[in-house]
Structure formats: structure tokens, C-alpha cells
Structure 1
């Protein structure tokens, strides 16, 4: 038999760069329950008309205009993390980020586009955040 080798959710790791040289990446405490990375494209669509039979259905073609990467995360909020995340949210600062998925590192500049803190009576506060691509993103295998 041959079984799939799954990637466990907690092994999808998001790390933030410190902006120094050499840059050191560390995983933030706030992304401790749910995390995800998505890749999307924006396309332009055309229809190619059959010149030999213009009443025939046209063929649709698409060209990629741009690509985009987004990272979402959530978790229980640690009291000590609040100032850093609010400061980043209000600053508009771009930071280098790594997302480790299986045996691949996705890396590039990201901006914090959403940071929400929620809480219920007698329960621990949680946060949800979204990081969106702010420049070229690359991928490389983990050595």
C-alpha cells in the first residue's frame, strides 16, 4: 500500500522577518489555531471568432494579468502581542514574510490588511489577520 503523506495544519508555519540584515524570521504567537495561504490570478478574457464560420461558437481564451498571494491566520491573543500588531496595522508598513507549507518556503513582502480582535464573556480573546502580497513572491524548496 501507498498512503498519502498529509501536511498537518500546525505545520503550515507563517514567519515574520525582523527587517535586519541578515533577516531573521520568527513565527508570531497570534497565529496559533488556523492558518492558510492562497494563490490567485487576475485574468483578461477574449473570444476568438472562427473567421471561416462566424456563426460558430467563439473560443474563449484567458491571459494572466497578475498573480496574488494572501495569508490568513487566527488564534488566541497573547496580551503581550497586542501593541505590535496594532502598530503594524496602523503603520501600513510592509514586512518580509515566509510561509512554510510542506517542503516549500513561499517568501516575499506582505502588508497587514486586516487585524481583528474579538472576545466573548469569560472566554479568551482571539484575533484574525490577513497578510496580502506587496511585491514579488517566490517559492523555493526546503533544503
Structure 2
């Protein structure tokens, strides 16, 4: 994957369950991490006492995170309602020259910060809540 502009990595949400995704407003930084737990099946007779792992047996998960500012009251209210209600929604992350990851996520962390001489900013983290799909570019 060649170098890409960070602003081209998009975080989107299906806010009403219709299958239509809208870019989350005001995000200045975004990231996605994929995780796969391992299942250790090492036993006394493992070759050379080396650890053995069971392929495909661990739990898979993904974490989306971002930070930025709210550009309007609608995006502020939407995210706030997801946090307080524990809402699970379909989200997308669009990574240029890589693909689109889509699936159900829940907001697991939401922080507001502000300086006396600046705007109120937020940081958000979402954890996968089911199977994810991936469509390569």
C-alpha cells in the first residue's frame, strides 16, 4: 500500500439502520486495529518444547478509534445517544487502496476535552460486536 493522506481514511455510521452510511463529522484522526486471540495447545511432547497454536480457534475483534470536534448539534446528539444508550450500530471504515471494513460496533469509550483558549474536542473508541465484512479495493 502506497502512502495515503490520513484525511482519506473515513469513519462512517448507519445512523438509522437503513444501510446508508454517513461520515462521522469533525474527525481529525482515525484508526482501526484488528485482533485475533491465540489458543495455546502446547503439550509435554511438543517438538523442542516450542509453543503450538491452534489455527483459527481464537476470538477475532476489531477496534475503531478517532478524535476530533463536533461540527453540528446533530452529530453531537447522535454520538451522545449511542454512548448513553449502549447502542450497537453498523459502522464502516474506508481505507484508501486497502478496502472497506463494515460491521456492528458499540462505542466503548467517549471523552470530551477542552482548553480555555480552544474548542471542545472528543475522543471515541468502538469495539466490534459481531462478524465484520471486508471488501478490498
1:31-42 equivalences under 5 Å are 31=27, 33-42=28-37
| Alpha-carbon distance, 1:44 to partner | 1.6
CA distance in structure 1 between the aligned counterparts of 2:43 and 2:51, rounded to whole angstroms? 6
1:1-143 equivalences under 5 Å are 5-21=2-18, 23-31=19-27, 33-50=28-45, 57-63=48-54, 64-80=57-73, 81-103=75-97, 104-142=99-137
Task: Select the structure of larger CA radius of gyration.
Answer: 1
* Structure (1 or 2) with the greater strand fraction: 1
Structure 1 ranges of 4+ moved more than 6 A: none
Q: Give structure 2 stretches of 5+ with no counterpart.
A: none
Tell me the TM-score normalized by structure 2. 0.87
Number of equivalences? 133
Q: Tell me the alpha carbon deviations over residues 18-59 of structure 1, each in whole angstroms, 9 at most, x when there is no partner.
A: 3343x110101132x1100000111121324448xxxx8412
Tell me the TM-score normalized by structure 1. 0.84
CA distance in structure 2 between the aligned counterparts of 1:134 and 1:9, rounded to whole angstroms? 26
